[in-house]
Structure 1
Amino acid sequence: MTDHIESEKPDNGYEKPVRIEDISSRPKSYKVTFPANALEKVARRLEAEAVRSIEASFEISRSGPVILVEGHVTAELVRTCVSSLEPMDESIDDDFSFELEQVDELPDLSGEVEIDIEAPEPIIGDTIDLAEQAIQQVSLAMEPFPRKEGAEPVKDEAEQPSLSPFAALKSLKQD
């Protein structure tokens, strides 16, 4: 059975809560499709020129205190090429899997702390926001330095000053 969670909060446009108490050992499927009115907010958050679509499917179950989340996310983005500074399309099509664990408070990370990267991600509250999880998965799958195929670097017409520390000394000697 697949539940399609609809946004009931038009103020943020993309909250898709699932109550943790409703998660059992039997996997349950969810599908999240972002409405058009939320995509502009998501684009600003992802620092993309535009987000045309985001869809995610989730399968969620529980094993003791650990919540198992598996899924797939697709997205169509418009990003800025780091080389030519032109807009370019980027498609995301990614599988993901992670674990969450409900906690009363987040651990204090102010001092020197050893972090177990295999440990479940702590989550506070009584819901999991699947829209938030979808955005995070898109963010993780995005190309860190998007480059349009065949893009040439932008050429700066202005003469660049020498970065050599000796250039400053040379200018002093000429005076």
Structure 2
Amino acid sequence: MTRDHRLFSRPISVADLPARGRGVTVEASPEERARIAREFGLVAIDALSGAYHVTPTARGARLKGKVAARIRQTCVVSLEPFDSEFDEEVDLAFAAALEPGEGGVMQGDTLSISPDEEDPPEPLEGGMIDLGSVTLEFLALGLDPYPRKPGVELSVEFSPDRVEEEKAPSPFAVLAGLGRKPAAKP
């Protein structure tokens, strides 16, 4: 979670959690949404929230929930702004300290991670989980890097055949005839 904590920070202490866990909802203010929209290259964020259930575990905590957002972004085809909504499921484990090789197998200096295994836990820093940072991370993961407004199509079809047809003559094509000697006249 490398985003700037000043954008949207909602830390909670794992030590203060009841044994059954606690439901926590975080919501970004209009000022925070404006800063986040600028940071993420969006036209606007109309709503951003995270609804979580945080449960203590033997080594840290488990966080489950959902990030919901209503955003306005720019279509990469038409360059028109459009609104979209999405929900991203969140299921993370947090641990105070990772054991060597946890979440994979150490082979010398290399950590091998199996795609079939559960992800390694996130580091629990100072006994705190920043729900704002988690929300921003999952917002970033849920954004389409090439957003397209519904119903907008490319006006030109691209295919290898079409590229060949449109290929301009090489600037060196005129040089091809220079190396040839003119035919001898009888």
So what's the TM-score if we normalise by structure 2?
0.69
Shift of 1:113: 3.1
- Partner-residue secondary structure (3-state), 1:140: helix
Shift of 1:61: 0.5
CA distance in structure 1 between the aligned counterparts of 2:168 and 2:131, rounded to whole angstroms: 53
CA, structure 1 residues 167+121, in 2 after alignment: closer, same or farther (shift >3 Å)?
A: farther
Q: Which amino acid aligns with 1:95?
A: E
Provide the identity percentage: 23
Superposed CA offset, 1:74-97 (max 9, x none): 111111112212111111123321
CA, structure 1 residues 169+137, in 2 after alignment: closer, same or farther (shift >3 Å)?
A: same
CA distance in structure 2 between the aligned counterparts of 1:146 and 1:12, rounded to whole angstroms: 27
- Partner-residue secondary structure (3-state), 2:124: strand
CA, structure 1 residues 25+38, in 2 after alignment: closer, same or farther (shift >3 Å)?
A: same
CA, structure 1 residues 32+167, in 2 after alignment: closer, same or farther (shift >3 Å)?
A: same
Alignment match of 1:113 (pick from 111, 114, 126): 111
CA RMSD of aligned residues (A): 3.3
Counterpart for residue 49 of structure 1: 43
2:173 paired with 1:170: yes
CA distance in structure 2 between the aligned counterparts of 1:14 and 1:69, rounded to whole angstroms: 18
Counterpart for residue 8 of structure 2: 14
CA distance in structure 1 between the aligned counterparts of 2:112 and 2:168, rounded to whole angstroms: 41
- Higher deviation after alignment, 82-91 or 112-121: 112-121
CA, structure 1 residues 21+30, in 2 after alignment: closer, same or farther (shift >3 Å)?
A: same
Maintained 8 Å contact 2:14/2:56: no
Alignment of structure 1 residues 140-159 onto 2, 5 Å: 140-153=141-154
CA distance in structure 2 between the aligned counterparts of 1:47 and 1:18, rounded to whole angstroms: 28
Maintained 8 Å contact 1:83/1:154: no
Counterpart for residue 138 of structure 2: 137
Aligned residues: 157
- Segments of 4+ in structure 1 off by > 4 A? 162-166
CA, structure 1 residues 99+169, in 2 after alignment: closer, same or farther (shift >3 Å)?
A: farther
Counterpart for residue 67 of structure 1: 61
CA distance in structure 2 between the aligned counterparts of 1:137 and 1:13, rounded to whole angstroms: 14
CA, structure 1 residues 68+154, in 2 after alignment: closer, same or farther (shift >3 Å)?
A: same
So what's the TM-score if we normalise by structure 1?
0.73
CA, structure 1 residues 56+167, in 2 after alignment: closer, same or farther (shift >3 Å)?
A: same
CA distance in structure 2 between the aligned counterparts of 1:45 and 1:134, rounded to whole angstroms: 14
CA distance in structure 2 between the aligned counterparts of 1:124 and 1:169, rounded to whole angstroms: 63
